[in-house]
Amino acid sequence: MLLKDEVGMLQRIPLFTGIESSKLKLLAFTSDRVSYSAGQILFRQGDEGDAAYVILSGSADILVDSDSGPIKVAEMVPNSIVGEIAILCNSSRTATVRAATPLEALRIRKDHFLRLMREYPEMTIEILRVLADRLSHTTADLIDARSAK
């Protein structure tokens, strides 16, 4: 794919809408375009958080370990970001991410991701919105699970 096509793709992702195209060009150039087959693992729970992934096409399952095996807690679709929590918290991965379908993603290294957040407060605010939305859904799911007992 041409660099200008990748920039166009990045501009459609809510996380990057406020970022000028020259910076998106640099992001596309310094990031890795990665492809996964259905069933392949992007990263595992407990791995080092070295990059975030923006899903360009396909979908991925978010799995957490439990005593009875992995539990699917969410599904990520195109234009969503995954793996940013380990970067922001400077911790290991909180979940395993597995391609549910053939998947293409942009792998953004930790240092580039953090630099973008410093340079673009709009991006930081959008990430906070994403995280708050996830927390809200997780809380609702926990309430549902407790009341089902």
> Strand 41-43 relative to strand 96-99: parallel, antiparallel, unpaired?
antiparallel
Residue 148 included in any domain: no
In a domain, 68, yes or no: yes
Residue 146 within any structural domain of the chain: no
- CATH number reported for the structural domain that contains residue 13 in this entry: 2.60.120.10
Predicted confidence at residue 146, as pLDDT, reads 86
pLDDT for the residue 1: 57
pLDDT above 90: percentage of residues in the chain: 44
Answer for the pair 27, 18: CB distance below 8 angstroms, yes or no. Answer: no
Q: Which residues form the domain of 84?
A: 3-140
**What is the percent of the chain where pLDDT is above 70?**
98
Contact by Cβ (8 Å): 17, 11: yes
Q: Domains in the chain: how many in total?
A: 1
Q: What is the pLDDT of residues 101-114, one digit of tens each?
A: 999 999 999 998 89
Compute the distance between CA of residue 36 and CA of residue 46 in angstroms, rounded to an integer: 20
Kindly give the interhelix angle for 3-11 and 21-30, rounded to the nearest 10 degrees. 120
Give the integer Cα–Cα distance in Å for 110 and 29.
15
Assigned domain for 149 exists: no
